Amino acid sequence: MALYDNANVRFVIPAEGGMRWNDNLAIPKGSTAKLDETLKLIDYYYSLDAATLLSEYIGYFTGVAGVQERIEADVQAARDSGDEETAAQLEATAASVVPTPDQIDNTYPDKQLSQEEDDEWSALFEEVLRTA
């Protein structure tokens, strides 16, 4: 992904590979506080309109189907209105929000903890909470 105002800045995955990451919205297990409102917010962020808006602004990979096509439509709309600067910016973003198979093949996921490791880390965090 090229940076909007500097074509010399790009998002690249090193030849040696890179860690795959994503941001998540989650509700802690057992939480009941404002659950309806929380679910509405999560539904909103994963809607095509919001995911497109966020991807156009941030340039992150997205798991929401249709975002790349929506950004490409926004590129064309900007170009049709004579706004070549916005069209070029969105065009660079459209190419970056859905990873290609080659990009995915050259990444690895976060470490998945075993139950034993998860229990160990949870105990460490609980100790910090008790002493805070």
**For 51-91, how does the pLDDT look when each residue is reduced to its tens digit (9 = 90+)?**
999 999 888 778 899 998 999 999 999 999 999 989 988 88
pTM, 2 dp: 0.67
**For 82-118, how does the pLDDT look when each residue is reduced to its tens digit (9 = 90+)?**
999 899 888 888 877 877 788 788 888 888 889 999 9
DSSP labels for 55-122? HHHH-----STTHHHHHHHHHHHHHHTT-HHHHHHHHHHHTTSS--HHHHHTEEPPPPPPHHHHHHHH
Helix (H) or strand (E) holding 130: helix 115-131
